[in-house]
Amino acid sequence: MPSFEFRVPPSGGGLEFRLQAAVGNSALRLNFFQQSTLVMKHLIFWLCLLCCATGTVFQPSLSFAQAKPPAATPAEKPLLTIEGNGIKPVTLTAASLAGFKRQTVKVSDHGTPAEFEGVLLYDILKQAGAPLGESFRGKNAAVFVAIEAMDGYRTVFALPELDPMFTDRTIIMADKRDGKSLSEKEGPLRIVVPDEKRAARWVRQVTKIRILNLTAL
């Protein structure tokens, strides 16, 4: 009994036709790739005549497989989501973070000297549309930032703690430590606050930033 299969090949652009049949004592296997569906229709017509002439039972089976989209590269995988009151959600990847100005800070992490590299948290918030600079007034003076980690840990910052118009502090979203990507335990992203005595706000495995307004809660 012949079997027929049609499928869209992964590369797209046409139909692939496969035939397996037994004609007499011989096994027949054919494999075609054709861009034109008209040609395929003619092919099926002649194969039907062949089956009738040889007394072979014709029972086709059709299946279509859609090509899978290519997997995202590590640089394209989402790392950080930014959302909040009056903020259009933004998703950043390693590739998009690479487009920011880079910053390096030298700190002591629980007594161990370390050099972290990353992006100013201020720059990330600015791109997301947070009310910084002259916009931080009126109702916007009640806006704060919540940092969330993969394990549910959370902490908050007031916008003036991050804004160069209010402070000389350098708070970064780090993705490298001592020249290497952060370990799975730390990263891929973590907050580094160089001038704080305790590291309670040095959030590891950061996944989300929420820009919230107390007047809207």
pLDDT for residue 135 is more than 70: yes
CA distance 106 to 41: 70
Residue 201 CB coordination number (10 Å): 15
Q: What is the mean pLDDT of the chain?
A: 79
Q: pLDDT, tens digit, for every residue of 90-110?
A: 999 999 999 999 999 999 988
pLDDT for residue 111 is more than 70: yes
pLDDT score, position 67: 52
Farthest-apart Cα atoms in the chain, separation: 90
What residue type is assigned to position 17 of the chain? F
